[in-house]
Amino acid sequence: MPKIVIALGGNALQSKDSASTAEAQLEVAKQTCERVAELSRGGYEMAIVHGNGPQVGRILLASETARDTVPPMPFDVCGAMSQGYIGYHLQQALRYSLASRGLNIPVVSLVTQMIVEKADPAFQNPTKPIGGFYTEAEAKELENTKGYAMKEDAGRGWRRVVASPLPRRIVEIDQVRQLWDSSIVITCGGGGIPVIENADGTLEGVAAVIDKDFAAELLAEQMDADILMILTEVEKAAIHWGKPNQESLDHMSLAQAAQYVEEGHFAPGSMLPKVQACMKFVRTNPHKRAIITSLDKAIEALRGETGTVISFA
């Protein structure tokens, strides 16, 4: 059976008009898992990676808000917590969607650590805002007492910023491999919990945000998956995005993709990392395929009927 790594975007867990509650997330997860179960019925072996931006943000905010009552959780711990409850929702929903199709495939989520490099240039220039807003005085205090990097956020106040380093190695990759044959594994949630490896071999969580599309790519590469499928809000990536001459893309070769990236067609932080992840994946092996499409169109895209396919040539 073809192996596929699926990266689920923010809309797989939260819809634009639903509340940002755990209950609403479970409802959206149920719809998402109906789609994923259809893919499984289509004869694919799969692992699932999901985003966690809004969720980890809320966990951090709750923890910061309650700081006078309970000690705040470090950001890596917030990431682990988000993997836990998102994984739980997907596990529960997907188990049901599979069973209702007569598929009794175990679904298991794995708290996953991702090694990043201490020397990653991203650490020199943290850019990702996380958590709540502070006054300038509070920001200075946090800089001095906790060593946080704080930045003024577009006139709205001061916020903590963290780096977005590249994922280098999935600590639990052997366990993913063992589970793959028997189960659908939910892994590398939110890009994985960023950890650095000390000289003595110990791992240490760091406050950082890893791009989940890059993490999914690394997983797909390491699992020797046939397809990397990035599911997001749009059916296809486009050039001249948002302009009158916008043009949806059915297919990009590596060379075409590189040219479009160069020309700045894909927005940093949203479509650009997806295209870059797809490029990296197909570069590893000319027989591999990467697809960017929407959750709703995943099945059609695998049949080659829609989506943006990125391939070597």
128 is catalytic: yes
Q: Does residue 238 bind ligand ADP (CB under 6 A)? A: yes
- Per partner kind, with CB cut-offs from 5 to 8 A, the member of ligand ADP, Mg ion, none near residue 291 is none
Determine which one of 30, 128, 157, 205 is catalytic.
128
Sheet holding 107-109, edge to edge: 107-109, 184-186, 45-50, 3-8, 227-232, 289-294, 308-311, 251-253
Q: Does residue 232 bind ligand ADP (CB under 6 A)? A: yes
**Can you read off the two tokens belonging to residue 301?**
């895209």
d(CA 224, CA 218): 10
With CB under 6 A as the contact rule, which of the stretches 84-92, 126-134, 178-186, 266-274 interacts with ligand ADP? 266-274
* Contacting ligand ADP within 31-70 (CB under 6 A): 51
Determine which one of 10, 53, 79, 307 is catalytic.
10
Look at strands 238-239 and 247-248 and give their pairing.
antiparallel
User: Among 265, 280, 289, 297, which residue sits at the site for ligand ADP (rule: CB under 6 A)?
Assistant: 265
| Contact (CB, 8 A) for 188 and 215 | yes
Residue 216 beta carbon to ligand ADP: minimum distance, rounded to whole angstroms:
10
d(CA 159, CA 214): 25
274 is catalytic: yes
3-state secondary structure of 126: coil
With CB under 6 A as the contact rule, which of the stretches 132-140, 201-209, 263-271, 279-287 interacts with ligand ADP? 263-271
* Contacting ligand ADP within 269-288 (CB under 6 A): 270-271
Q: What share of the chain is helix, strand, coil (3-state, %, to 5)?
A: 40, 25, 35
The residue (of 98 and 290) whose beta carbon lies closer to ligand ADP is: 290
d(CA 295, CA 229): 10
* Contacting Mg ion within 9-68 (CB under 5 A): 10
d(CA 243, CA 63): 41
Q: Which of 160, 142, 141 is nearest to 150 (CA)?
A: 160
3-state secondary structure of 57: helix
User: Among 123, 148, 266, 281, which residue sits at the site for ligand ADP (rule: CB under 6 A)?
Assistant: 266
**Can you read off the two tokens belonging to residue 304?**
């080659």
16 is catalytic: no
Please name the residue that has the structure tokens 């390491």.
Answer: 222
Concatenate the DSSP letters of all residues of 186-221 into one string: E-SGGG-EEEEE-TTS-EEE-SB---HHHHHHHHHH
Residue 288 beta carbon to Mg ion: minimum distance, rounded to whole angstroms:
25
Report angle CA 224, 228, 234 to the nearest 5 degrees.
175
Determine which one of 87, 189, 274, 288 is catalytic.
274
The residue (of 8 and 39) whose beta carbon lies closer to Mg ion is: 8
The dihedrals phi and psi of 157, each to the nearest 5 degrees, come to 130, -175
**Can you read off the two tokens belonging to residue 39?**
């893919």
Determine which one of 9, 11, 51, 307 is catalytic.
11
With CB under 6 A as the contact rule, which of the stretches 30-38, 142-150, 180-188, 262-270 interacts with ligand ADP? 262-270
Number of residues that bind ligand ADP (CB under 6 A): 14
* Contacting Mg ion within 234-263 (CB under 5 A): none
The residue (of 95 and 297) whose beta carbon lies closer to Mg ion is: 297
- Per partner kind, with CB cut-offs from 5 to 8 A, the member of ligand ADP, Mg ion, none near residue 19 is none
Q: Which of 17, 18, 13, 49 is nearest to 29 (CA)?
A: 13
* Contacting ligand ADP within 10-29 (CB under 6 A): 10
Name the residues that contact Mg ion, by CB under 5 A: 10
The catalytic residue positions are: 10-11, 128, 212, 274
Name the residues that contact ligand ADP, by CB under 6 A: 9-10, 51, 232-234, 237-238, 241, 265-267, 270-271
